[in-house]
Structure 1
Amino acid sequence: MRVLPEGKLAYGIQLPVQSQSTLYTEPWEAGAGPADLVEIARTADRHGFAYIACCEHIGIPRRLAAAMSTVWYDPVATLSYLAAATTRVRLLSHIALAALKHPLISAKQYATLDHLSGGRLILGVGAGHVPEEFDALGVDFARRGALLDEAVDALKAALGPEEFPAYQGKRFAFDGLGQRPRPVQAPRPPVWVGGSSPAALRRAAVRGDGWLPQGDRRDQLPAQLAKLRRLRTEAGISTPAEAGAITEPLYVGEPAWDTGRRTLTGPPERLAESLREYKVMGVRQIQVRFRSRSRTELTDQMAAFAAGVAPHLDS
C-alpha cells in the first residue's frame, strides 16, 4: 500500500511535547501542553506536512528517566485528539510497541482512530528497547522480534476489510470475533515498520508497506535502502516500500542563536538542495525536526519550510 504522492519527496514531523527525550527536546517543551500540540498539528495541516507522529513508551525505568524523561504521551489518545483539530494531515504512530499488546486490542484502537479521522492513520510499529517495559507486562523481551513479526501479520489481518477477521499463529489466534467500526482505508491502513537493525530492516521489507529508519546517518542510508529493495524482491513483493529518513535538525534562515553544529541552516534554496539528496537515494518521505526556542518559533519555522523549502524539494 502506498499513500504518499507519487514522484514527490513528502515531509512529515514527529510532534514535540509528546515525547521529551534529552536527545532532541527543546527547553520550552517542558512547560507546553495540549494547546501547543493542537496549534502545531494545525500548522502541519495547513502547510502540507504529510503526517504528524507520536511515539509510544508504556513506562520509563528510573535508570533511564534522566535521559529519556517520563513524558511519553499515548499515541492513540494523542492522535485521536489531534484528528479532531485537523482535516488532512495523516496520523502516524512512530512507533507503536505492537508486541506488548494483543493484536485485537491494537486493531480495535487503531481501526477506531482511522474511522474517526476519515482514513488518515499510518500504523508505525517497532520492537522497543526498554526491557523493564516488557518485564512489567509479562512479555519476553528477548523474543520481542518474533512477537512483533507475528503481531504485524495479525494486525494486517485484523485491520483488513473483514468484520470477522481470522488469524492463526504461534502466540496470537482469533476467529469469529467481529470488530466494528472498520477502518476507512481499503483494503487496510498502511503499516510502516521502524528500526535499523538487520532484523528490523528485514521485517520492513517482508512485512511492511514502509520503512522508518532509526538513527541512520545520511551516508549509511544508500546501503540500507539497497538491502531493503533486495530483501523485498527476494520475498516476491513488487510494490516498493515507502522508505523514510530522519533528517538532521533544521533551521530555515540564519539563526541569531546557537542551534548546534549538526543543524542545517541557511536560505531555503540551500536547505532544499541538501535535502534533495534523500530523494536521489530513493527516500520517499523525510521526517523533519526544527530547532526552536518557543512554540511560535517552531510554527514559524514550519511555515517557512513549507513556503520556501518544500517547493524546491522536487526540482
Structure 2
Amino acid sequence: MHIGFDVRTPRAMTDTQELADLVMEGERLGFDYTTVFDHMVVQRSLRAKYNNSDEGDTDIGYGRCHEQVTTIAFLAGRTRALRFVTAVMVVPYRPPVLAAKMLATIDVLSGGRVTVGAGTGWIKDEFEALGAPAFERRGRVTDEYLEVMKLLWTEEVVEYEGEHIQVYGIGLEPKPAQRPHPPLWIGGMSGPAMRRAARLGDAWYPMMNDQSKPLDTVDRLQAGIGRLRDLAEAAGRDPGSIDIALRVAEHGHRLSPTASDGTRRLFAGGDADFASDLNVVRDLGVTAIDFRFEHQRAEVVVEEMQAFQRDVLGRL
C-alpha cells in the first residue's frame, strides 16, 4: 500500500522555498507521493457550500495557492522519486486537449511520476470566474473531457464528437511516459462520481472524512468498496482492475474516536491505533492512502511528518 502526504501551511500555499522544502522532506522520509489541490481564484464569500457544510461562508481563501499543474511541474524538477497526484483536478476548468498535453508533458519530463486525480468541482463562483462550462453540466462535461484525454494519451489519431467537446483527426505527441497513460483516480462519493470511477477510472479516490457520505468506519468503507465493485461489474469491467485510494483530511487525536453510527472511527487515536487501521484498510483492498499535515508553521508540519514516519509507519 502506497502512503502519500498533503502539506498545508499558509506560507507554503504561495512561498516557493517553503513549499519545496516540505515536499522534499516528504520524499526524504520515504513517502510514495504527494498531493496538490486545484483552485484558481480567491472568493471572499461563497454562494455554494462543500457538501452542505458550514465551510465557506466567509473569507476562506481557497484561491491562495499556485496553479496546480504548474506547481507539479516545478516540484517534479526538485525531486527524484516522489509521485504527484492532482487531488483533485477540477476537470471542467481546463480545455481537455490542453490539459492532456500539459499532463503528458510533465509525465515525460518527470520520468512517469504523475497520477491524475479527477473530479467535477463544487464552487460555482469559480466556474463562472474562469468562464468554464456551465456548473450545472459539470458531470457530463467531466465525463467527455476525460474520455478525450484518455484517447489523446493512447491513440495516434483521435475523432470524438460529444455534446461539449468535438475533435477531429488530431493526435498528441509525445505520449505520456506511463503506458497506457498516467493512472486516473476518480474522486467523489456521489452516484455519478462512483459510476465515473467504475467506467473510466484506474482507481476510486474518495475523501474518507466526506461530511455527507463518510467512509470513516470499517462498515462504511466496506460498503463503499462493495458498491464500487458492483458498479464496475455493471459497467462490464473487472472489479479487481480498479484500485481503491483514500484521502484523509483529519486524523489522530483531533478526531472523536466514535463515528456518527456509534462505531469506532478509523484513524482516530494514537500511533498504535493508526498503524492498526492502516493494516485494516490494506486488508480491505486499499492500495493507496494519503494524509493531510496542516499547521500554521512549517516546522510543526515537518515534526508531524517525521513522527508519522517513525511512530506509525515504523510499526508496520
Distance change in 2, residues 1:192/1:31 (3 Å): closer
Q: Deviations over 1:119-163 (max 9, x none)?
A: 10101110011112222315111111011111111111112263x
Aligned 8 A contact 1:161 1:186 in 2: no
How much has 1:165 moved relative to structure 2? 3.7
Q: Which one of 13, 17, 28 corresponds to residue 46 of structure 1?
A: 28
Counterpart residue number, 1:183 = 176
Tell whether 2:144 aligns with 1:150.
yes
How much has 1:272 moved relative to structure 2? 0.2
Deviating more after overlay: 301-310 vs 120-129: 301-310
Q: Deviations over 1:268-306 (max 9, x none)?
A: 433201332322332222111235453222223223322
Tell whether 2:281 aligns with 1:278.
yes
Aligned 8 A contact 1:161 1:182 in 2: no
Amino acid at match of 1:212: Y
Q: Which one of 1, 5, 28 corresponds to residue 13 of structure 1?
A: 5
Amino acid at match of 2:179: A
Q: Which one of 92, 96, 99 corresponds to residue 92 of structure 2?
A: 99
Question: What is the correspondence of 1:78-157 to structure 2 with a 5 Å cutoff?
Answer: 78-136=71-129, 137-157=131-151
SS class of match (2:154):
coil
SS class of match (1:286):
strand
Amino acid at match of 1:199: P
Counting matched residue pairs gives 286
Counterpart residue number, 1:233 = 233
Counterpart residue number, 1:295 = 298
Deviating more after overlay: 52-61 vs 85-94: 52-61
For residues 264 and 176 of structure 1, the distance between their equivalents in structure 2, rounded to whole angstroms, comes to 52
Unaligned runs of 5+ in 1: 1-8, 18-27, 252-258
Distance change in 2, residues 1:120/1:217 (3 Å): same
For residues 216 and 61 of structure 2, the distance between their equivalents in structure 1, rounded to whole angstroms, comes to 24
Counterpart residue number, 1:243 = 244
Counterpart residue number, 1:218 = 216
For residues 78 and 84 of structure 2, the distance between their equivalents in structure 1, rounded to whole angstroms, comes to 12
SS class of match (2:22):
helix
SS class of match (1:284):
strand
Q: Which one of 52, 63, 66 corresponds to residue 45 of structure 2?
A: 63
Counterpart residue number, 2:19 = 37
Counterpart residue number, 1:255 = none
For residues 105 and 201 of structure 1, the distance between their equivalents in structure 2, rounded to whole angstroms, comes to 25
How much has 1:107 moved relative to structure 2? 0.7
Amino acid at match of 1:96: M
How much has 1:237 moved relative to structure 2? 1.2
Q: Which one of 293, 308, 316 corresponds to residue 305 of structure 1?
A: 308
For residues 127 and 296 of structure 2, the distance between their equivalents in structure 1, rounded to whole angstroms, comes to 35
For residues 20 and 59 of structure 2, the distance between their equivalents in structure 1, rounded to whole angstroms, comes to 27
For residues 166 and 309 of structure 2, the distance between their equivalents in structure 1, rounded to whole angstroms, comes to 45
SS class of match (2:120):
coil
Distance change in 2, residues 1:50/1:203 (3 Å): same
Q: Which one of 164, 171, 176 corresponds to residue 164 of structure 2?
A: 171
Aligned 8 A contact 1:211 1:242 in 2: yes
Counterpart residue number, 2:198 = 205
Counterpart residue number, 1:23 = none
How much has 1:30 moved relative to structure 2? 7.3
How much has 1:54 moved relative to structure 2? 0.8
Amino acid at match of 2:170: L
How much has 1:68 moved relative to structure 2? 4.5
SS class of match (1:218):
coil
Counterpart residue number, 1:20 = none
Percent identity among equivalent residues?
29
For residues 281 and 143 of structure 1, the distance between their equivalents in structure 2, rounded to whole angstroms, comes to 34
Counterpart residue number, 2:185 = 192
Distance change in 2, residues 1:62/1:293 (3 Å): closer
Distance change in 2, residues 1:12/1:237 (3 Å): same
Aligned 8 A contact 2:36 2:86 in 1: yes
Counterpart residue number, 2:259 = none
Q: Kindly report the root-mean-square deviation, in angstroms, between the aligned alpha carbons of the 2 structures.
A: 2.4
Q: Deviations over 1:251-277 (max 9, x none)?
A: 6xxxxxxx63448453x4332013323
Amino acid at match of 2:31: F
Distance change in 2, residues 1:227/1:175 (3 Å): same
